[in-house]
Amino acid sequence: MNLNSFFESLASNASRNFKIEQLTLNSDNETLREVVRLALDPFTQFYQRKIPSYTTDKTATSLTNALGALYDLSSRNVTGNAAIEYLRMLLSSVSSDDAKVLERIIQKDLKCGVQVSTANAVWSGLIKEYPVMLCSQFEQKLVDKIEYPALVQTKMDGMRFNAIVRDGKVEYRSRNGKEIQLLGNLDDDFRNMANGIDCVFDGELLVVSGTGHLDRQTGNGILNKANKGTISVKEASMVRATVWDVIPYILFVDGYCGTPYGTRMESLNVMADMKQPKKVSLVDSWEVDNYEEAKTLFEGLLADGQEGIILKDKRGAWEDKRAKHQIKFKGELECDLKIVAVESGTGKYEGMLGAIVCESADGVIKVNVGSGFNDEHRKTYTEKDLLGKIVAVKYNARIKNKAGEESLFLPIFVEVREDKDIADNSKEIK
């Protein structure tokens, strides 16, 4: 079976059901199963996102043998320049089609719309989903359950990330578990703060220029390069981190840490006070005694140009789910949708990007988004770049047309979410 051609056939059809059907028909193919696992498992990394130049071998070794050889990269038996040469040698030892399969694995992207949930629908339990605790949207009934004194923290406007410190080594992951390459820029700070403990820091990455942060679209454009492994040394040096949580590594992998959030935040404060990191800061936090104080802080931060706040119950555990004890207060509505079609521009945008057609994960909300793109986006974004991607969209209200179909009022493109694989469900969209 030519797996590269198989993945290309999956990419040609956007239907998730089609992908599941084709994978199920070939589910007894052990090589296919292993390729999918290696490419999608967030806890298997190869630390080489950039593919070196190579020439393939017509009398090639088998793909199965090449998959076994990837262990030396995932275990870090070879690192640095030696790892680059090792990967070049491995890619050169297989056929051209099998080399393309290895590229998909190395880049942790099957490039055919198959994500962890799709793979697990075919091979139950094949891949452990990367753990992440998410905040809840504002609901008065949730706010009423918060116990005071509580914490209010600034809602950051960057890219969500984890810094994972194990055995003195630091690696960075996006919220979907993909490697973020920061070229060692923040390693010393996180290594020093961990102080020999295997742990995971949770926070957001921002990009600085001069004395201030770059705007979200520009900054996250640079951070998307780190997600793709194409960031330059100069760009990586501009990255800063703001953190708001720390979880023991073994409990992070397990998906639950019962230590109350107030205690975890105190641990972070001690780490920062002792080690005085240069490029890592703690999120701005205030203790409030009631909802009115939280609301006043929210209104003040909005007036200062901030995005909003997160209200956090100090009793809350860390858990791999959407937590009801951490609640977003936002000034503008925003959601993450999947691009299902790309439309060409007309008039002055002829030959360029015109609009994107997006929908929620369950297909309930569908919207055509044509605003928010700058001239560079319209010139460079192609259907291949965008189709199937997740994008952040700001809007004014959730509406229905005359036919009763649900959409969004005044949708505006914000950014491509390279750190997300799954769109928001309509139940999560206000």
The pTM (predicted TM-score) of the whole model is: 0.87
Are the C-beta atoms of residues 352 and 370 closer than 8 Å to each other? no
Q: What is the pLDDT along the chain (430 residues), one digit of tens a residue?
A: 999 999 999 999 989 999 999 999 999 999 999 999 999 999 999 998 889 999 987 777 999 999 999 999 999 999 999 999 999 999 999 999 999 999 999 999 999 999 999 999 999 999 999 999 999 999 999 999 999 999 999 999 899 999 999 999 999 999 999 999 999 999 999 999 999 999 999 999 999 998 788 988 899 999 999 988 899 999 999 999 999 999 999 999 999 999 999 999 999 999 999 999 999 999 999 999 999 999 999 999 999 988 899 999 999 999 999 999 999 998 889 999 999 999 999 999 999 999 999 999 999 999 999 999 999 999 999 998 899 999 999 998 899 977 889 999 999 999 999 899 999 999 999 8
Q: Which residues pair with 407 in a beta bridge?
A: 399
Cα-to-chain-centroid distance, residue 267: 26
Contacts of 21 (CB under 8 A, 6+ apart): none
| Token pair belonging to 220 | 């996250």
| Token pair belonging to 83 | 């790892």
Contacts of 15 (CB under 8 A, 6+ apart): none
According to the model, what pLDDT value does residue 50 have? 86
DSSP string, 117-158: HHHHHHSTTSSPPPP--EEEPP-HHHHTT--SSEEEEEPP-S
pLDDT for 172-208, tens place per residue?
999 999 999 999 999 999 999 999 999 999 999 999 9
Are the C-beta atoms of residues 279 and 336 closer than 8 Å to each other? no
Domains plus CATH for the chain?
3-122 (no CATH), 134-330 (3.30.470.30), 333-428 (2.40.50.140)
pLDDT for 334-392, tens place per residue?
999 999 999 999 999 999 999 999 999 999 999 999 999 999 999 999 998 899 999 99
CA distance 374 to 215: 14
Nearest to 411 by CA among 307, 329, 336: 336
Q: What count of other Cβ atoms lies within 10 Å of the Cβ of residue 381? A: 18
In the three-class reduction of DSSP (H, G, I as helix; E, B as strand; rest coil), residue 56 is classed as: coil
CA distance 29 to 304: 57
